[in-house]
Structures are given as structure tokens and as C-alpha cells.
């Protein structure tokens, strides 16, 4: 597994990377009123009660097949409003509103292939395509949504230092239409990646991330009803929002999604070269892109008047949510929202060094969540921890990989509060896992190392406490510097 518990599911990952969803939640810790970490850069939910995006993943425990897909083609019905745009676009992210309520944040990032040309303009020929937005504007109807899109495109281009090649189409869908679009995204991704969904359903059940007999597809479908409010469609390059009208809240969500669309056009968010990697690259790249979008979104929100802030809060609170977050485990929520919280902090540190540092990270993103959680180490060029030997399986393995520091912080949040879980996971010095099936489910076995002997001892005590909470978990010490954790379910 790579990516803090979003798991590496190519389709799920690219869907998620291509469509970062907007999740509205007052908290993500398993109760509606207890905040939990928001994803993709921090923990699942914005600590200030904002919303965040979700993502899908695959091989790594923290960001591969455990993430939800974000790419879907959906024709808006008569109840939707759209601002015209070009069909020519690439994959992108969907976004959850993960605002920081006006707190100044200098994050901003763009993801994509280094081969896309000039990282400042996103022009494959290395030439400044400054007229792209203007040309697009001339093809847009002069509707309120069209005018708003023009205004926000200019803001995003200015703040991010990049230029759109083509103008995304924006669709405002009513609750029923948006829910149908979201369900279709999940169903399509699950059908196209049935083996990955089955594998990570079993892994999540074994680790306690999914309760009972529910599948990953069911969990993601329900998660949409819990507050997903928008996504960027990777197939068409368009953006869909759960909103019947334009509000201050709609504007912040749209800014977030436009950042994804812009970075997709400039760098490319769907990176096939990551498919065969077993590190955390899927999760870390998602954290980078989500952090970038949240930073620019936060800058936009800083311009709001008191009245606009009040309007935004009211619109967020009024969003329909038919499923309670209490349906989901804390670890599942932490896995989803962590990319947002930690990604924003990481990208803000890059912006403190300048846009070149942000763009360089998109060219060569960190391979471990440890570096996302400690941006100064990334900026210093700290090398990742040495690989850990994969533990033996008791039967034929169906997958193996890396969990990562962020994923273990999420898993431990089922036993400890988020702050303590994050502190305990901070001593992570590398891991490797293997998974196999049994007559009653599946087992996941992980070797974990720590940075120091004291941190290894702290890790061991935390894992023993976690193991006592569920039958089928065992902690063993094969050597003086390795912890072996087995979880079956």
C-alpha cells in the first residue's frame, strides 16, 4: 500500500486525483459534533467546520485503492445551470470545501507531468498562452455564472501564476442530479476496478477501517450522501457543483475546483507512471494538489466581507446531508481528510520559499507521507527511510506495499485522539505490509520500524493498545528493531 490509507487503486486513484470531492462536515471523528482530521492535506474535516475533498487510491495503505474515484461524465439535467467551455481538457481533481475561514495561507501548487512544458504557463511549447482565458471568455454566454467564472478564472490564474489553455464548463446541479452523478462515478470506477475494490474492502475490514460487511463501493457511495458537494470531471475537464444557486460558498468551492482544473491543464494530474509504485506517491501527490487548491481557496476567502462570510457559513450549513458521518470510522475519515489538512500545511511551506518550490514539488513530489507531515525535511532534501523487509504471509498474498506515517496516524485515531495518534505515528521509520485471504476474510501483516529506540517502544505500546480493541489482532517482535502487527477480520 502506498498513500496513507487511501490505497493505490489506479482507477480509484486517478479518479480521485482527477475529481477531488467536496465533503461538507462539522467534524470527522465519527460523531457529527466532534471534529476529526481532514484529508488530502490534513485530516478528513476542516477543524473550523469547513468541508474538504476526498480522494481515491490503491497500493499504499494511505492513498491508493482506498480513495474514491473522481472522474465521471454526467449530462446536467434541466435543473442544472452551466457556463459553456471547451471539451478539450485533461484529468483533474474534485474538491471538498476545506476552507480555513479566512486564515491567511500561502499554499498553492500544481500537479502534472514535467513534460508538459513551461511550468509557469503550462504551455507544452514553453510559450506564454496569455490569451487563452480571453479567447475562451468570448465564447461564453454573458450569464451570471459565466461572468462569475470569468472573474474567478482571472483570480486563480493570478494567484497560481499559471494560465488556462481552455475554459472549464461549470455545472450547478440540484441535489438529486448531483447525487446521481456521484453514484455513477463510484459505480463506474468500481466496475472498471473490481479487483482493487475487492482487495481493499478486505484490507480495510481487517484493519478496522470499514465496519461490518459493507464494501468499499458502498462506503464511498454513502460518503457522497454525507456531504460531497462538487468535483472536477477528468474526462471532460468540467466541474460539477451541488448547488442550485450562486452563493459565497459556491464561489469558494468553485475556486478550489478551478485550481484543480488549471493545474491539470498545466501539469497533468493523472500520472500513469505511478501505477506500479508501491510507495506512498499517490497519497503524497494528492496531498500536494489538495494543499495547493486549499491555499488559493483560502486567499480568495480572505477577500470576503463580514456579510459574505455569514452568507458562506449559512449556505454551508444548509447543504443537504442525508447520511451522518457517524456511519464511518474515525480512521476512514482521517484517511480521506488527511490529504487536505497536511497537504495545505505542506504546500504553504513551499509557497514560503516561492512558486518555484511549489512547481518543483509537482515535478518531483515526495514519496512518503512522512515528508508531507514534515515539510522542512522535504525542503532540506532529507532522504526517505530505508525500505523495510516485507513480512511473511500465512497464505498466498494478494497484495503488498507500504502503509506510511499518515496512514498509521489514521488507524491509531480509532484508539487515540487525533493529536495523540499523530504524535505516536511521528516516530515512523518505515514499514511494509502483505495481505492474504482466509476462510473468514483477510489478514494484513505489517513490519514497522521507528526512528529511535524510544519511539519504537512508544509505537509498540500504542499498537498493543490498538490490538486489544479487536479480536484477530496481534503484535509480535521478530527482532529488536522491528514490530510485526497482524490484523485479521
pTM above 0.95, yes or no: no
Q: What is the pLDDT of residues 253-269, one digit of tens each?
A: 999 999 999 999 999 99
pLDDT of residue 278: 84
How does DSSP classify residue 25?
-
pLDDT of residue 237: 86
The dihedral region occupied by 55, where left means phi > 0, alpha psi between -120 and 50, and beta the remainder, is beta
Beta strands in 120-202, from DSSP E residues, in sequence order: 170-173
pLDDT(38) > 60: no
pLDDT of residue 141: 63
How does DSSP classify residue 37?
B
How large is the average pLDDT for residues 125-153?
65
pLDDT(447) > 60: yes
pLDDT(120) > 60: no
Question: Under 8 Å CB-to-CB from 101, ≥6 apart: which residues?
Answer: 48, 49, 50, 301, 309
How large is the average pLDDT for residues 434-462?
96
pLDDT(124) > 50: no
What value does the mean pLDDT of the chain take? 77
Cα-based angle 221, 222, 227 (whole degrees, multiple of 5): 105
Q: What is the pLDDT of residues 177-196, one digit of tens each?
A: 998 988 988 998 899 999 99
pLDDT of residue 158: 97
Counting beta carbons within 10 angstroms of the beta carbon of residue 275, is it exposed (0 to 12), middle (13 to 18) or buried (19 or more)? middle
pLDDT(394) > 90: yes
How does DSSP classify residue 379?
H
Question: Under 8 Å CB-to-CB from 213, ≥6 apart: which residues?
Answer: none
Tell me the DSSP string of 66-127: TSPP--------TT-EEE---S-------------TT---------B-GGGS-TTT--TTS-
pLDDT of residue 60: 57
pLDDT(417) > 90: yes
pLDDT of residue 439: 94
The candidate with the shortest Cα–Cα distance to 62, out of 410, 442, 431, is: 410
How large is the average pLDDT for residues 77-83?
31
pLDDT of residue 276: 83
- Is the CB of residue 269 less than 8 Å from the CB of residue 111? yes
How large is the average pLDDT for residues 440-454?
96
Higher pLDDT: 220 or 99? It is 220
- 80-84, 232-236, 345-349: which range is least confident on average? 80-84
- Is the CB of residue 99 less than 8 Å from the CB of residue 297? yes
pLDDT(138) > 90: no
pLDDT of residue 62: 55
How large is the average pLDDT for residues 142-151?
92
User: Which sequence spans correspond to the domains of the chain?
Assistant: 4-344, 397-488
pLDDT of residue 97: 40
pLDDT of residue 272: 85
- 1-10, 397-406, 468-477: which range is least confident on average? 1-10
pLDDT(66) > 60: no
Higher pLDDT: 13 or 202? It is 202
pLDDT of residue 15: 38
User: Could you tell me the CA-to-CA distances from 344 to 31, 47, 278, 291 in Å, in that order?
Assistant: 24, 13, 24, 4
pLDDT of residue 303: 95
pLDDT(53) > 70: no
pLDDT of residue 331: 96
pLDDT of residue 61: 55
Higher pLDDT: 64 or 372? It is 372
pLDDT of residue 228: 82
How large is the average pLDDT for residues 95-120?
36
pLDDT of residue 401: 92
pLDDT of residue 234: 72
- 59-73, 287-301, 320-334, 386-400: which range is least confident on average? 59-73
Amino acid at each position: 500500500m502506498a498513500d496513507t490509507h487511501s490505497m493505490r487503486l489506479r482507477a480509484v486513484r486517478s479518479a480521485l486525483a482527477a475529481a477531488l470531492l467536496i465533503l461538507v462536515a462539522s467534524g470527522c471523528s465519527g460523531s457529527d459534533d466532534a471534529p476529526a482530521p481532514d484529508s488530502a492535506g490534513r485530516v478528513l474535516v476542516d477543524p473550523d467546520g469547513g468541508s474538504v475533498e476526498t480522494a481515491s487510491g490503491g497500493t499504499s495503505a494511505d492513498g491508493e485503492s482506498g480513495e474514491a474515484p473522481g472522474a465521471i461524465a454526467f449530462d446536467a439535467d434541466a435543473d442544472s445551470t452551466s457556463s459553456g467551455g471547451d471539451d478539450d481538457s485533461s484529468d483533474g481533481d474534485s474538491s471538498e470545501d476545506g476552507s480555513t475561514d479566512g486564515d491567511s495561507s500561502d499554499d498553492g501548487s500544481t500537479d502534472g507531468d514535467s513534460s508538459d512544458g513551461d511550468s509557469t504557463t503550462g504551455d507544452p511549447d514553453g510559450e506564454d498562452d496569455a490569451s487563452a482565458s480571453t479567447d475562451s471568455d468570448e465564447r461564453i454566454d454573458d450569464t451570471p455564472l459565466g461572468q462569475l467564472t470569468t472573474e474567478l478564472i482571472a483570480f486563480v490564474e493570478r494567484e497560481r501564476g499559471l494560465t488556462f489553455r481552455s475554459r472549464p464548463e461549470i455545472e450547478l446541479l440540484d441535489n438529486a442530479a448531483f447525487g446521481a452523478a456521484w453514484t455513477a462515478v463510484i459505480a463506474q470506477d468500481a466496475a472498471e476496478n473490481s479487483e482493487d475494490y475487492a482487495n481493499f474492502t478486505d484490507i480495510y475490514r481487517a484493519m478496522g477501517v470499514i465496519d461490518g460487511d459493507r464494501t468499499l463501493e458502498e462506503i464511498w457511495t454513502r460518503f457522497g450522501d454525507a456531504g460531497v458537494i462538487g468535483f472536477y470531471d477528468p474526462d471532460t475537464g468540467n466541474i460539477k457543483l451541488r448547488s442550485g444557486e450562486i452563493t459565497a460558498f459556491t464561489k469558494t468551492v468553485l475556486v478550489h475546483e478551478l485550481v484543480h482544473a488549471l493545474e491539470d491543464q498545466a501539469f497533468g494530474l493523472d500520472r500513469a507512471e505511478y501505477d506500479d509504485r508501491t510507495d506512498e506517491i499517490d497519497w503524497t501527490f494528492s496531498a500536494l494538489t489538495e494543499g495547493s487548491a486549499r491555499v488559493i481557496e483560502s486567499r480568495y476567502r480572505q477577500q470576503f466581507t463580514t456579510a459574505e462570510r455569514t452568507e458562506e457559513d449559512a449556505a454551508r450549513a444548509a447543504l443537504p446531508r442525508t447520511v451522518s458521518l457517524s456511519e464511518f470510522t474515525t480512521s476512514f475519515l482521517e484517511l480521506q481528510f488527511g490529504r487536505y489538512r497536511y497537504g495545505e500545511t505542506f504546500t504553504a511551506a513551499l509557497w514560503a520559499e516561492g512558486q518555484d518550490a511549489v512547481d518543483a514539488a509537482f515535478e518531483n513530489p515526495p514519496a512518503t507521507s512522512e515528508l508531507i507531515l514534515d515539510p522542512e525535511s522535504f525542503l532540506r532534501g532529507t532522504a526517505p527511510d530505508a525500505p523495510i523487509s516485507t513480512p511473511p504471509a500465512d497464505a498466498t498474498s494478494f497484495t503488498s506495499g507500504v502503509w506510511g506515517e499518515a496512514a498509521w496516524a489514521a488507524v491509531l485515531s480509532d484508539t487515540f485522539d487525533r493529536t495523540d495518534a499523530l504524535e505516536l505515528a511521528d516516530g515512523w521509520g518505515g514499514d511494509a505490509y502483505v495481505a492474504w485471504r482466509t476462510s473468514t476474510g483477510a489478514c494484513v501483516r505489517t513490519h514497522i520500524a521507528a526512528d529511535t529506540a524510544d519511539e519504537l517502544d512508544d509505537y509498540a505500546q500504542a499498537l498493543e493498545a490498538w490490538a486489544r480493541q479487536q479480536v484477530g489482532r496481534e503484535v509480535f517482535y521478530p527482532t529488536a528493531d522491528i514490530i510485526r502487527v497482524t490484523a485479521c477480520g
